[in-house]
């Protein structure tokens, strides 16, 4: 029963295609989707993630966590990001390089693709898919040349990444800087010098091709960027 409930929750969050389920389950999936949207209106994603992590810290297994907290996790669209102990509740595997993921938080979570539009004041949830990389730095630069560090919280903290798909533990509100916000995930097999990455980002931020060029970093550091275009409110 728990496995079936998990499958329905995944379908409600868009993790799996609802058309692959028994047609008789369609009504329940629609009901779960509506419940998720209502809960998200009341509970911000970062609050939901904190609750899932709190329950996980009590030493419950993944199945126990799902039995007690599936609705909370799915309501924010964070099934893939909810962490139980040191492991994601639901792993997503992928071939190829690591990926930066950007979601807009507005009546649910909607993924922003490269060059999608956003406005100052939009709340974004950042996530990453490390594809086997053990360490990473997440940062952004905007059209005003400002560099913001998102992971780790400070340059002195570890750059270790969780396996699977993981959301950062706090959301990000776009300011009114012009033109764009560009998010980077820099990954490596070993600990990364965060200060050096920030210096590279500051150097790029002041260049005319900052919206398209790569960070000036050593070849052993992989990087993936997502450019979000800003439009006037």
Residue 126 maps to which CATH number? 2.60.40
Out of 88, 123, 157, a domain closes at 88
Q: How far is CA 11 from CA 7, 38, 72, 99, in A?
A: 6, 17, 15, 23
Question: Structurally, how many domains does the chain consist of?
Answer: 2
217 and 114 share a domain? yes
Q: What is the pLDDT of residue 66?
A: 41
105 and 82 share a domain? no
132 and 50 share a domain? no
Q: Please report the DSSP string for 152-175 in residue order.
A: SSSTTS--B--SS-EE-SS-EE--
Does residue 88 contact residue 82 with C-beta atoms inside 8 Å? yes
Q: What is the pLDDT of residue 199?
A: 97
Decide: helix, strand or coil at residue 232.
coil
**Could you tell me if residue 216 is inside a domain?**
yes
- Spatial separation of the C-alpha atoms in residues 13 and 17, rounded to whole Å: 10
Out of 38, 64, 88, a domain closes at 88
114 and 213 share a domain? yes
Does residue 65 contact residue 74 with C-beta atoms inside 8 Å? no
**Could you tell me if residue 211 is inside a domain?**
yes
111 and 223 share a domain? yes
65 and 114 share a domain? no
153 and 179 share a domain? yes
146 and 126 share a domain? yes
Does the pTM of the predicted model rise above 0.75?
Answer: no
24 and 51 share a domain? yes
179 and 64 share a domain? no
**Could you tell me if residue 93 is inside a domain?**
no
66 and 144 share a domain? no
117 and 207 share a domain? yes
**Could you tell me if residue 62 is inside a domain?**
yes
**Could you tell me if residue 94 is inside a domain?**
no
Out of 88, 111, 141, a domain closes at 88
Does residue 124 contact residue 102 with C-beta atoms inside 8 Å? yes
As averages over each run of 10 residues, the pLDDT of the chain (233 residues) reads 57 64 79 65 54 52 40 43 32 58 80 82 88 94 93 95 84 84 95 97 95 94 92 70
Residue 214 is given by DSSP the state: P
Domain membership of residue 53 as a residue range: 2-88
């Amino acid at each position: 029963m728990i496995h079936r409930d998990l499958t329905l929750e995944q379908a409600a969050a868009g993790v799996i295609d609802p058309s692959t389920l028994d047609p008789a389950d369609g009504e329940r999936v629609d009901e779960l989707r509506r419940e998720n949207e209502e809960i998200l209106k009341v509970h911000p994603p970062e609050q939901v993630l904190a609750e899932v992590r709190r329950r996980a810290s009590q030493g419950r297994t993944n199945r126990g966590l799902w039995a007690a907290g599936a609705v909370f996790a799915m309501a924010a669209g964070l099934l893939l990001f909810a962490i139980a102990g040191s492991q994601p509740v639901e792993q997503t595997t992928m071939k190829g390089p690591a990926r930066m993921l950007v979601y807009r938080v507005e009546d649910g979570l909607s993924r922003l693709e490269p060059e999608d539009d956003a406005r100052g004041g939009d709340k974004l949830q950042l996530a990453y898919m490390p594809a086997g990389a053990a360490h990473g730095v997440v940062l952004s630069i905007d059209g005003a040349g400002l560099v913001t560090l998102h992971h780790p919280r400070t340059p002195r903290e570890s750059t270790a990444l969780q396996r699977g798909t993981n959301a950062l533990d706090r959301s990000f509100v776009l300011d009114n800087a012009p033109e764009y916000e560009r998010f980077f995930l820099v990954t490596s097999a070993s600990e990364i010098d965060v200060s050096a990455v920030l210096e590279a980002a500051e150097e790029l931020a002041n260049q005319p091709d900052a919206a398209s060029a790569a960070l000036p970093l050593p070849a052993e550091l992989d990087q993936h960027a997502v450019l979000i275009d800003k439009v006037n409110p």
